[in-house]
Amino acid sequence: MSEAATAIVWFRRDLRLADNPALSAAIGHAQCVIPLYVHAPDEEGDWPPGAASRWWLHRSLGSLAASLRTRGATLHVRRGPTSSAIIGVARATGATRVYWNRLYEPAIAARDARLAAELREAGLEVECFNAALFVEPWGTCTAQGGPYRVFTPFWRSCAGLLDSQPGPLPAPARIHSADVGNSAVRIDDLGLQPAIRWDSGLANAWTPGEEGAHERLQRFCESALHAYDTGRNRPDLPDTSRLSPYLHFGEIGPRQCLAAVRNALLDRPSAKAAADTFIRELGWREFAHHLLHHFPHTATEPLDTRFGAFPWEPSPDWLEAWRRGRTGYPIVDAGMRELWATGWMHNRVRMIVASLLTKNLRQPWLEGARWFWDTLVDADLASNTLGWQWTAGCGADAAPYFRIFNPTLQAARHDPDGAYVRRWLPDALRDYPSPIVDFRESRAAALAGYARIKARS
């Protein structure tokens, strides 16, 4: 591609400078680069960012702006509509090209396709890249040419492509930029901060931004990677990577994680099995995007259509007890309080709390997905949808419906000394409710409901 005088790089959920293909391409093909963020949550369909995600986004944008300043550039911020914002900046600067990295959620992908056509009609060149995945959702298929619905063969197909992945791109040392004019919007003006400050726990738990992402990855490789094989199921131990929000916001990419883990193995080859397990977990993230791309209705509807007739028993009281961590099952309530305090929950606990909600309380899985969407800092539509449908038994590669997690046995196995429960549920020994439902009775009722829909199919 020939060189342009000025190009726009449209940042979205790729809030980093290193291993950013759109930014690298712009710097390589333009004399002047304009970093731009456009705030347009109303263009994201039924799933605009929830409260915890907005909190993270505010800080991540601030971090990105600071990083750009050290390299001689300014992060220009605008409000949507995205099309008019980008065209306005292009006209103000004389930019002739727009670069961005792809997103894959159905509403956003459809918006991006319309946007690309509008920008080209306005005389701008458009180029987009993959910065978020090893393999894009359409990049692999079954032998019959269709999408995968089972993780193991999907990952077998993708894993064979990992060795051909290009290495992570370096961050630019300098970005030649230009003035955009006087229509700037401050990050603080976007309304991302909570009006009532409930976020102190999040601030204590997280450091959003590219620097925080690399610190988290380095700490994981040095202190927890070797134990990941077994430690990842222990919520009482610090043996998970906690990289999910950084990956969601693109403050770090999967190629960087892969490179860091493989580099760590040079000094500790005995950790290979644990490293393979971690990389496989990154594969579940890939699988989630594969499924949502090919089955876009699953954000709100079950992939297994039989569950459209499942006899849910919606109960506002039971749903509220679950949300507030008052179910009477300590590990469930500890998890819900960890979520409320920090915007995050250990993955093993996520499965336990989701199982209780959908199978023992028989509340619709979408109610749980929506609550997670608002309260998780790593709220990702693809992963959230996969996780809830997997646990509820109505999605691709789902747990068999009769797999109903027993919270008491799960706690004994994965929090054997009770440290996790004591941390997040200090009132467990006083003023604590009895279980909201009897586990055995509610399990039997759930299985009876499943038997009814199975008999109709």
CATH classification of the domain holding 449: 1.10.579.10
- Write down the mean pLDDT value for the chain: 95
- Confidence band (pLDDT; 50, 70, 90) for 65? very high
Scanning the structure block, which residue is given the tokens 């200090």?
426
Residue 397: predicted pLDDT: 75
Q: Within this chain, do residues 345 and 432 fall inside the same structural domain, yes or no?
A: yes
- For 160-189, what is the mean pLDDT? 89
Domain closes at, from 116, 131, 146 = 131
Q: Within this chain, do residues 141 and 288 fall inside the same structural domain, yes or no?
A: yes
pLDDT above 70 as % of the chain? 98
- The rounded distance, in Å, linking the Cα atoms of 205 and 220 is 15
What are the tens digits of pLDDT across the range 109-149?
999 999 999 999 999 999 999 999 999 999 999 999 999 99
Whether residue 2 is predicted with pLDDT greater than 60 in this model: the reply is: no
Q: Any idea what the CATH number is for the domain that residue 270 is in?
A: 1.25.40.80
Domain closes at, from 131, 156, 185 = 131
Residue 429: predicted pLDDT: 61
- Confidence band (pLDDT; 50, 70, 90) for 412? very high
Q: Within this chain, do residues 97 and 213 fall inside the same structural domain, yes or no?
A: no
Q: Within this chain, do residues 126 and 162 fall inside the same structural domain, yes or no?
A: no
**If you ran DSSP here, which 8-state letter would residue 35 be given?**
E
Whether residue 252 is predicted with pLDDT greater than 60 in this model: the reply is: yes
Number of separate domains in the chain: 3
Residue 180: predicted pLDDT: 82
- The rounded distance, in Å, linking the Cα atoms of 456 and 109 is 36
Q: Within this chain, do residues 372 and 422 fall inside the same structural domain, yes or no?
A: yes
Q: Within this chain, do residues 140 and 283 fall inside the same structural domain, yes or no?
A: yes
The four Cα atoms 76, 377, 225, 216 give a dihedral, to 10 degrees, of 40
Strand ranges in 112-169 using DSSP code E only, listed in sequence order? 125-129
- Greater pLDDT, 165 or 369: 369
Scanning the structure block, which residue is given the tokens 């103000």?
92
Domain assignment present for 186: no
Domain closes at, from 274, 294, 314 = 294
- Greater pLDDT, 2 or 421: 421
Q: Within this chain, do residues 56 and 161 fall inside the same structural domain, yes or no?
A: no
- For 278-297, what is the mean pLDDT? 98
**What are the C-alpha distances in Å from 71 to residues 3, 74, 75?**
21, 9, 11
Q: Within this chain, do residues 383 and 412 fall inside the same structural domain, yes or no?
A: yes
Domain assignment present for 192: no
Q: Within this chain, do residues 359 and 250 fall inside the same structural domain, yes or no?
A: no
**Domain of 68, in residue numbers:** 4-131
- The alpha helices in 224-364, defined as continuous H runs, are 228-231, 244-248, 254-267, 272-294, 316-323, 330-342, 347-355
Domain assignment present for 154: yes
What are the tens digits of pLDDT across the range 317-344?
999 999 999 999 999 999 999 999 999 9
- For 224-247, what is the mean pLDDT? 96
Residue 183: predicted pLDDT: 65
By annotation, the residues acting in catalysis are: 281, 284, 312, 347, 365, 388
The backbone torsions φ and ψ at residue 191, rounded to the nearest 5 degrees and listed phi first, read 70, 30
Residues 6 or more apart whose Cβ sits within 8 Å of residue 416? 236
